């Protein structure tokens, strides 16, 4: 190879290497925040429902701080290269979305939509080609949430809350019906979707135990 071409190659290479380092630094920061989030949210399993709003209040500022990370990553990514680099941060992003979706469920019992999730994390529409919340990442986050909710169904009963499992059951079944509509290929999303039925089974068992002993309020007929 002639020297000019080698120079050119090395320049391109240096640029990529430098960018990769910078993104990695930001991802580390982002990751710290999402770990804090997961840590805080782990307390739902030991927090009585009356105190959940206070718990959520401690989560919100951390969730808010994720906006800095998404903005920093969007600023680093060159135009049109979102898909080139997204694998570097998708784990962190999924965890953040998981936290946001779980918080929304605890607050309202509803599902946080994708655009709303993006908004919560400060992801702007005009970043599309540099930083976005892809359907895949969003769906992964929802599955993580279901995993967590099946635990919550068990633990809320332990804490004496017999209504929560019923709410969870309805919500998770709706979600599962949604997932069932997708034509999933043989990828990680498919495998995780397949595992959802164990979560549902677990939730159903809790619901069964609770109803059998007439512990649950009788008006919940949605199950």
Partner 1 sequence: MSVVLNSRESILTTFNHFREELDDFHDTRERLIKSSRDVTNLSKKVIFLIHRTLTETLGQSDEKETSLRAVSRAKGKLKEIQNLFAGMSEEIAGDRFWRYQKNVSPGLQEYIEALSFAYYLQCQTMISYEEVQKSLSDADGNPYFPLPLDDYLLGLSDLTGELMRYAISSISRRGGRSEANEVCKFVRGCRADFEALTPYFRELRKKQQVTSQSLEKIEDVAYAITVRSSEYDLPPELLDDIVERTVLEAGFGSGGDGRDRTREGGRRGGDNNRENGDYD
- Positions touching partner 1 (CB under 8 A) are 1-2, 4-6, 8-9, 12-13, 16-17, 79-84, 104, 108-116, 119, 128-129, 135-136, 139, 174-175, 177-179, 181-185
Nearer to partner 1, 10 or 46 (CB): 10
For partner 1, the closer of residues 185 and 213 by Cβ is 185
| CA 86 remoteness from chain centre | 15
Q: Which is nearer to partner 1, 2 or 54 (CB)?
A: 2
Q: In angstroms, how far is CA 31 from the centroid of its own chain?
A: 13
Whether the Cβ atoms of residue 172 and residue 131 lie closer than 8 Å to each other: no
Residue pointed to by tokens 């209504």: 163
Looking at the Cβ atoms of 134 and 147, the one nearer to partner 1 is 134
Picking from 37, 155, 173, the residue whose alpha carbon sits closest to that of residue 92 is: 37
CB of 104 to partner 1, least distance (A): 6
Q: How far is the CB of 85 from partner 1 (least distance, A)?
A: 8
CB of 214 to partner 1, least distance (A): 26
Q: Are 105 and 171 in contact (CB under 8 A)?
A: yes
Is 62:37 a contact under the CB 8 Å cutoff? yes
Give the residue with the Cβ less far from partner 1, 29 or 163: 163
Distance separating alpha carbons of residues 77 and 54, to the nearest angstrom: 36
Question: Shortest Cβ distance from residue 77 to partner 1 (Å)?
Answer: 10
Report yes or no: 117 and 108 within 8 Å, Cβ to Cβ: no
> Which one, of 203, 210, 190, lies nearest residue 148 by Cα?
203
User: CB of residue 127 vs partner 1: minimum separation in angstroms?
Assistant: 10
CB of 160 to partner 1, least distance (A): 26
Contact 89, 137 (CB under 8 A): no
Instruction: Closer to partner 1 by CB, 15 or 201: give it.
Output: 15
């Amino acid at each position: 190879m002639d020297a000019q071409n080698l120079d050119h190659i090395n320049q391109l290479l240096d640029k990529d290497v430098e960018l990769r380092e910078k993104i990695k630094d930001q991802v580390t920061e982002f990751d710290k925040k999402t770990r804090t989030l997961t840590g805080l949210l782990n307390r739902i399993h030991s927090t009585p429902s009356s105190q959940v709003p206070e718990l959520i209040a401690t989560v919100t500022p951390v969730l808010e701080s994720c906006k800095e990370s998404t903005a920093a990553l969007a600023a680093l990514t060159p135009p049109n290269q979102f898909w080139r680099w997204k694998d570097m941060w998708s784990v962190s992003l999924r965890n953040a979305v998981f936290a946001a979706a779980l918080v929304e469920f605890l607050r309202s019992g509803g599902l946080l939509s994708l655009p709303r999730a993006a908004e919560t994390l400060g992801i702007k529409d005009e970043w599309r080609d540099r930083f976005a919340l892809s359907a895949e990442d969003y769906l992964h986050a929802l599955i993580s949430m279901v995993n967590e909710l099946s635990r919550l169904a068990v633990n809320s009963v332990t804490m004496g809350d017999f209504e929560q499992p019923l709410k969870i059951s309805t919500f998770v079944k709706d979600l599962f019906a949604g997932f069932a509509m997708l034509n999933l290929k043989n990828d990680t999303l498919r495998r995780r979707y397949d595992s959802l039925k164990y979560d549902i089974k677990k939730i159903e068992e809790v619901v069964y135990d609770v109803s059998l002993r007439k512990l649950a309020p009788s008006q919940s007929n949605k199950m």
